[in-house]
Each structure stands twice: as C-alpha cells, then as structure tokens.
Amino acid sequence: MRIRSRSLSLLWKLAILVFGLYGLLDGSGILAGAYTKNFPHMFTNVSNLFAWAYFALALVWMLADRRREEASGFAPFLKYTAMVSLLVTMLIAHFMLFDAMFRDGRLVLHLVVLHYIVPILSLLDWLLFDEKGRMPLWGPLSWISLAVCYLAFSMIGAGILGLDLGGGTTAGMTRYPYDFLDPGLVGPGAVAAFCGAMVAAFILLGYVIWGIDRLLSGRRKKRRDEMTRS
C-alpha cells in the first residue's frame, strides 16, 4: 500500500541524503582530512553520488510546492536509473566484493552505508511513496545508461588514454578501477564477458522492478474497482 504522507516522504528522502553524505564524505577521506584522489573512479561512489544528487533535487522540488506529496513526478528516468544502479552496486558488492568491505576483520561503516543502507532506502522510497504503473516498457533499456557510461569511461580512460583509474583494492596493481576490467590481467574475453553480463544484469533487474511496478499497479486498480462497485 502506498503511503501518502508528504512529511514522511520528505523525512525519508532527507535520511537518504544524510546517510549518503556520511558515506561519501567518509569514503572519500574528507572526514579524516585526507581526500582519496581515486574516490570517484569506483562505481559504488559514482552511483551513490548520482543518487544523492537526484534525491537532493527531488527534495527541493517537493519543498518548492506544498501540493507535491511525492517525488515520483520529478525526473522519473533519473530516479529509476539511480535506483537500479544502486541495487546492482549492492548485489555486486555482496556477491563479488564482500571481502573488500572488511579491514582488519571488521566491517567498514561507510562501505555498509553505501553498499546496503542507501540502496535499500532508495528502493523502499519507491515502494512506499511513489505512484505505481508509470514505468514505460522500454525503461529498463535506458536505466543502464549510467553503468554503460561508466564502463565506457573506464575502458577508454585506462585502456586508450592511459589514465590511472585504479582505486580501492586495485590501487597500485592496475590502471583500471577493478581488476576484472583489466584485459592485461584477466584477458580481453573475460572483460567483454563481464561487461556483457553486467549490462544483462542491469536490464534483467530493471524488468524485475518494472514487473513489480505493474503488479502493484494492477492490485491497486483492482482494489479501487472493488471499492467502486461496493
């Protein structure tokens, strides 16, 4: 059931911004007084920065007009792109890079925030507050745009321009943000397979969300029709 509380929607988005800001500032090293230059090269940070910018603008958009009870009317393409990107980030971190979230045997708090808390809060923001049935059938094919741009920049920047985009656990090992993007380490075929798998995963996840959107929209319409007949 969709929650129509404007105040709760605003507070929810504010919570996303607060958690996201902490995660980004701590992850970048700014809170410790030493900025990590390779911070913007990791997709976790790119997707979280993109989502933070979206929710900041959405919050301002809602506050600018008290009649706006939810933000799904504000740039839905950007919201769904951010949401899918965050969810894929969470899944990759959990199933492929989970060990990298530990330092000295302890979970790093800002990594938990960026990989779990912000993605889950963003998904729940859509589930709880947004009007359902607005996602276009072709939507999932466009929501991969952020990931495609990131992959293209990483491959061209590191592979052709020779930029040092290494970061996180790959710092000093490869110019690429992740070792599985470096053809010299894993082979061109493995890189192509990974990129293809990621694009497919983004599209598949997008259509799962699209299906849930349609399902929830249909149930809402059915309940409304039943209430009308009664």
Q: Give pLDDT tens digits for 14-69.
A: 999 999 999 999 999 999 888 888 899 999 999 999 999 999 999 999 998 877 76
Per DSSP (E only), the strands in the chain are 102-103, 106-107
pLDDT tens digits, 58-101? 999 999 887 776 656 788 999 999 999 999 999 888 887 778 78
- Say how many CA atoms lie within 13 Å of 147 toward its Cβ: 27
Three-state DSSP class for 57? helix
Q: Are 52 and 21 in contact (CB under 8 A)?
A: yes
Backbone angles phi, psi at 106, to 5 degrees: -125, 140
Q: Where are the domains of the chain?
A: 6-229
User: What pTM was computed for the model?
Assistant: 0.89
- Strand 106-107 to 102-103 pairing: antiparallel
pLDDT tens digits, 131-157? 898 899 999 999 999 999 999 999 999
